[in-house]
């Protein structure tokens, strides 16, 4: 049985294993039809309002379905893409409007990650991506981050904008974070 | 006129691990990489994976089995042995950092954080290394690429089922083994690391098959690294046992400390 509710495809639990196996194979990026029609709208300017609307609907769904493990591969990819676009958009705004109270941007990014994490926990690679992002946000001294670092981070997260997270681009992302002195596990210097 | 070759440095297990936890160690590796060629050995990668990464995976499983973080932490702290103390302390510190910062209302979320830390450590273990050399290149553990939690069970089984061929290694290095035994001056003392290494090397000399025993092989890791390091290479380490072992085989030590001083002995 497949139940269609706006933007959320729910399959029976016994279909899940099949979906997971399929997700590990190369699968063409397939965003849900409604988003496909509007995909050209996903400019940085429109991400904010459109994303907010989608986010509100998803949050309300999530409120009543804690840790659902029933989303399709394409739906997870769609959400990964949305997270990456939103974060990139915030980082770009941060780069352009850097002020002493720029922490508002990082707070916004934390919200984005928190709001979308449940979707991304369902696929191995996406789960590690969202967990890396969470750790990244907690482990760095954002009060003293340079604009060039913000730019680096924006470029690195952009690699996931098409929603395709695989081991290769995830490894590159992890290495680039390390090379650019972003901490994911924190260090013990102050202990 | 011949071009001057860059100094060649082996990055030892403690440095490979501590770079993730101490910015001074990470900075020192970066400084060394400017004018030197950085190496590590297959055995050092084995130690990192079978020691440190496996320790984290064990902790991951403990939480899964116990179902709550508090019980897992108690079991974990009662679990580690003296020889694993450095790894255990760093894993504890890492876990505390994650534990202290993250929403632990669900065990699942907490496990994901550990999973991402394991991925990060695994992918960046050799980020600054130019080349991996030495014995044990055929080890399945060395070749194993640990990604997500789907790999953990198989990875742990691979470690258990695939012991390194230490007997062959020492058989091919009998003369060097004798040099080490003759050169070590710290031969007694219950808790002195080099004295422990000496006693274990003696057992190996008596019978090469002793090298395959777990308690022996785990206590001679620093000796294996010293022997496995090519002549004219330097060993960058935070471990004091190399101060005594390396000079015996005419190898130089670069001592890396956690306070930004690279000390050459």
Would you call B116 and A128 a contact, using CB atoms and an 8 Å cutoff?
yes
Would you place residue B195 in the very low, low, confident or very high pLDDT band (cuts 50, 70, 90)? very high
Length in residues, chain A: 191
| CA distance to partner chain B, nearest, from residue A119 (Å) | 13
Euclidean distance between CA atoms B53 and A50, whole angstroms: 42
- B contacts of A118 (beta carbons < 8 Å): none
pLDDT higher than threshold 90 for residue B161: yes
**B65, two tokens:** 């089995």
- Whether residue B23 and residue A185 make contact (CB cut-off 8 A), yes or no, is no
Contact B116 A189 (CB under 8 A): no
CA distance A120 to A118: 6
ipTM for the assembly? 0.81
Instruction: Name chain B contacts of A189, Cβ cutoff 8 Å.
Output: 22-24, 258
pLDDT on residue B2: 57
The structure tokens listed for A191 are 């202990």
Burial of residue B37 (number of CB atoms within 10 Å: 0-12, 13-18, 19+): middle
Q: How far B148 CA lies from chain A's nearest CA (Å)? A: 6
Yes or no, beta carbons of B120 and A138 under 8 Å apart = no
pLDDT at B88: 65
Place of tokens 């005594």: B244
* B20, B26, B117: residue with CB nearest A135: B117
List the beta strands (DSSP E) in A43-180. Answer: none
CB atoms within 10 A of CB B252: 17
pLDDT > 60? residue A36: no
Any B CB within 8 A of A110 CB: no
Q: Are the beta carbons of B172 and B228 closer than 8 angstroms? A: no
Bridge partners, B131 (sequence order): B39
Report which secondary-structure segment, H or E, holds B234.
strand B234-237
Q: Closest approach of chain B CAs to the CA of A21, in angstroms?
A: 12
Does the distance separating the beta carbons of B102 and A138 come in below 8 Å?
yes
CB contact under 8 A, A179 and B20: no
Tokens coding A1? 């049985």
Stretch among A50-59, A65-74, A137-146, B41-50 having the lowest mean pLDDT: A50-59
% of residues, chain B, pLDDT over 70: 84
Q: What mean pLDDT is predicted for residues B104-119?
A: 81
């Amino acid at each position: 049985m497949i139940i269609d509710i706006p933007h959320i495809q729910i399959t029976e639990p016994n279909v899940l294993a099949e979906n997971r196996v399929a997700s590990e194979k190369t699968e063409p990026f397939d965003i849900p039809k409604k988003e496909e029609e509007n995909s050209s709208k996903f400019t940085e300017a429109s991400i904010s309002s459109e994303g907010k609307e989608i986010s509100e609907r998803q949050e309300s769904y999530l409120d009543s379905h804690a840790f659902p493990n029933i989303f399709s591969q394409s739906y997870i990819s769609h959400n990964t893409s949305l997270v990456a676009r939103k974060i990139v958009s915030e980082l770009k705004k941060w780069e352009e409007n850097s002020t002493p109270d720029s922490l508002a941007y990082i707070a916004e990014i934390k919200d984005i990650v928190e709001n979308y994490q449940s979707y991304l926990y369902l696929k191995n690679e996406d789960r590690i991506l969202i967990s890396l992002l969470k750790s990244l946000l907690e482990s760095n001294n954002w009060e003293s981050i340079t604009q060039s670092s913000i730019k680096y981070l924006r470029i690195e997260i952009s690699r996931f904008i098409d929603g395709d997270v695989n081991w290769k681009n995830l490894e590159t992302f992890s290495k680039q974070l390390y090379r650019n002195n972003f901490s994911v596990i924190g260090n013990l210097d102050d202990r | 006129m011949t071009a001057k070759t860059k100094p060649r440095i082996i990055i030892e297990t403690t440095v490979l691990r501590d770079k993730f936890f101490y910015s001074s160690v990470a900075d020192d590796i970066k400084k060394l990489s400017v004018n030197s060629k950085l190496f590590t050995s297959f055995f050092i990668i084995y130690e990192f994976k079978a020691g440190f990464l496996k320790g984290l995976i064990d902790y991951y499983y403990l939480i899964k089995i116990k179902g709550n973080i508090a019980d897992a932490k108690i079991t974990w702290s009662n679990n580690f042995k003296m020889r694993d103390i450095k790894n255990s302390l760093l894993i504890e510190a890492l876990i505390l950092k994650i534990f202290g910062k993250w929403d632990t209302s669900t065990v699942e979320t907490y496990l994901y954080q550990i999973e991402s830390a394991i991925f990060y450590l695994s992918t960046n273990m050799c980020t600054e290394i130019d080349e991996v050399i030495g014995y044990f290149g055929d080890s399945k553990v060395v070749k194993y690429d640990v990604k997500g939690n789907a790999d953990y069970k198989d990875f742990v089984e691979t470690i258990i089922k695939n012991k390194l061929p230490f007997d062959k290694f020492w058989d091919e290095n009998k003369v060097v083994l004798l040099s080490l035994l003759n050169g070590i001056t710290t031969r007694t003392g219950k808790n002195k690391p080099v004295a422990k290494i000496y006693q274990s090397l003696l057992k190996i000399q008596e019978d090469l098959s002793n090298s395959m025993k777990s308690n022996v092989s785990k206590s001679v890791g620093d000796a294996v690294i010293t022997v496995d390091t090519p002549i004219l290479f330097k060993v960058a380490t935070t471990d004091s046992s190399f101060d005594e072992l390396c000079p015996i085989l005419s190898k130089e030590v670069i001592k890396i400390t956690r306070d930004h001083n690279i000390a050459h002995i």
